[in-house]
Amino acid sequence: MNPTSAEFFERARKVIPGGVNSPVRAFNSVGGTPVYMTRGHGTRIFSTDGREYIDFCASWGPLILGHARPEVIEAISAAAAEGTTFGTNTPREVEFAELLHRLVPSLEMVRLVNSGTEAVMTAIRLARGFTRRRKIIKFEGCYHGHADYLLVSAGSGLLTGGITTSAGVSQTVAEEVFVVPYNNLGAVKEVVRRHNKDLAAIIIEPVAGNMGLVQPQPGFLQGLQKVARNNGILLILDEVITGFRLGPTTYSMMEKLQPDLTCLGKIIGGGMPIGGLGGRAEIMNHLAPMGAVYQAGTLSGNPVAVAAGLATIKLLEKENPYPGLARLGKKLSDGLNAMAKKRTLALHCPHLGGIFTPFFCSGPVHDLTTAKTANTKAFAAFFHGMLQRGFYLPPAQFEVGFISAAHTENDIDRFLAAADETLASESAKGNL
């Protein structure tokens, strides 16, 4: 018998802080013991306890083609067999940058790094170096990784800079960050009116995925772009989730936006660690060794990660799974919304393509304040009901679920049948 998840978690807590290498994996917001996975194939993941789950977390986004897609695994194995890292330039990274540039023309130049956090951290430094200004605007509920500048939330007043959300982040750093409500262009304009000469960048997830799924209202991103441009502020779009998620390009290309810089991660690494930032050559050329903004990485542009990314993006371009993802996303969200209506539950599930969030609240969610009206206890009950029935969702209310190209109509039918049972039994217990 394999050790159980509970046994692994107990051992882990002695040698890994909180037993996890990334906090949300601890199940703190849903309770219970995290499940230890040992294997994945297509849409299925298998735990050390001998259970099988249909996965809607997809490693938090990278696995748009599902687990262990053979072409991607072959590319990884072949690259690894040739040597896992050289610390030199490699032909593959040139091919990859050219591919990204072709599919996302606003990426005139790209620099590869090792994670989304690193991409965003570098983009912020680059924006400050390029504009020779210090301050940035970010949005409540958006997550951009764990660099100091981004671990800041709204302070008591919009116009005085933010407060740190993590011990160890200097208040001086937080004071250089203004945090405004998502979808509130008026608040952005007010900060810009007072601080325009000090503002280096506005950074945003063009579709927010870290307070649950929250979409930009019509004209909001275009408005931001205009305010940024008119004031010499760089617009940084964090497309770590949305890049290659909704089409074989970025969300901004699909929406005809013109960001100055774009951050990528997740899908572009095909399940291997990667991040990337790119944009106008005039700005990118401020990075070392061309310019004075320093950035470097022992494993940046790692040949194995790049091989996985190349294989993934080429498959996405060739197979165009996006209409299918949107169809399944609609089916899942329509199905849950119909159940909510039938049972008069405070639940609604928006989707965009294959991204979705079952929000346990009744109103539409358009910013962090409305997201926070969700009943997180009800979500936890739903999460565990689904887990018991063999469905793995992201273990927190304010996250997004992902449908992958490996999911079928049948997977969604099964998800909906399990959701119907879960909603019935959890409402009967008074948990919803």
Ligand X SMILES: Cc1ncc(COP(=O)(O)O)c(C=O)c1O
Residues at the site binding ligand X, with contacts judged by CB under 6 A: 60, 115-117, 120, 143-145, 205, 209-210, 238, 240-241, 265, 275
Rounded least distance, CB 157 to ligand X, Å:
26
Rounded least distance, CB 22 to ligand X, Å:
7
**Residue in the shown chain whose Cβ atom is closest to ligand X:** 116
Residue 57 or 380 having the CB closest to ligand X: 57
Residue 240 or 313 having the CB closest to ligand X: 240
Rounded least distance, CB 80 to ligand X, Å:
21
The pair of three-digit structure tokens given for residue 110, joined into one six-digit string: 């790209």
Q: Give CA angle at 217 (187, 222), nearest 5°.
A: 75
Q: Give CA angle at 261 (260, 266), nearest 5°.
A: 150
Question: Does the annotation mark 266 as catalytic?
Answer: yes
Residue 347 or 355 having the CB closest to ligand X: 355
Residue 116 or 278 having the CB closest to ligand X: 116
Among 49, 266, 322, 392, which one carries the catalytic annotation?
Answer: 266
Rounded least distance, CB 112 to ligand X, Å:
13
Question: Does the annotation mark 143 as catalytic?
Answer: yes
Question: Does the annotation mark 420 as catalytic?
Answer: no
Residue 265 or 358 having the CB closest to ligand X: 265
Among 36, 53, 143, 392, which one carries the catalytic annotation?
Answer: 143
Rounded least distance, CB 255 to ligand X, Å:
16
Among 49, 55, 238, 367, which one carries the catalytic annotation?
Answer: 238
Residue 275 or 278 having the CB closest to ligand X: 275
Rounded least distance, CB 274 to ligand X, Å:
8
- Residues with a catalytic annotation lie at 143, 238, 266
